């Protein structure tokens, strides 16, 4: 999966949870879920669960703790998909 496709899919996943909808329009690899999109830590859990469902993967606790920006999410999803 290329990063453009991933970013487009992730944008739809985070849309219901992003408090800052303007930042959502310009989302890129450096976008931080909490600082830029203003997603709270409780809703970030729902983002991760939706990512798991979308890509049919299981994310571990330590991976979840690293998944704070789009780049980290992309790396973790890529790794998981390549392991399938």
Partner 1 sequence: MTKEEILQHLPYAPPFLFVDELEYIDEEKVTGIFTFRADMPCYKGHFKGHPVTPGVLLTEVMAQTGLACLGIYLLKDEVRKQLPTVAMTAAHIDFYLPVAPGETVKAKATKIYFRFNKLKCRVELYNTAGALVCDGTIEGMIIKK
Contact residues toward partner 1 (CB under 8 A) are 40-43, 45, 48-49, 61, 64
Burial of 4 (0-12, 13-18, 19+ CB in 10 A): exposed
- Least separation in angstroms between CB 66 and partner 1: 12
Q: Token digits for 12?
A: 């739809």
Q: Which is nearer to partner 1, 25 or 58 (CB)?
A: 58
Tell me how far, at minimum, the Cβ of 61 lies from partner 1, in Å: 7
Task: Choose between 25 and 42: whose C-beta lies nearer to partner 1.
Answer: 42
User: CB atoms < 10 A from the CB of 5, how many?
Assistant: 9
């Amino acid at each position: 999966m290329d990063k453009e496709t991933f970013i487009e899919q992730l944008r739809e996943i985070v849309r219901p949870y992003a408090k800052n909808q303007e930042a959502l329009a310009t989302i890129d690899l450096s976008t931080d879920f909490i600082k830029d999109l203003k997603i709270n830590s409780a809703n970030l859990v729902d983002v991760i669960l939706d990512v798991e469902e979308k890509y049919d993967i299981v994310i571990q606790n330590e991976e979840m703790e690293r998944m704070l920006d789009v780049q980290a999410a992309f790396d973790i999803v890529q790794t998981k998909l390549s392991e399938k």
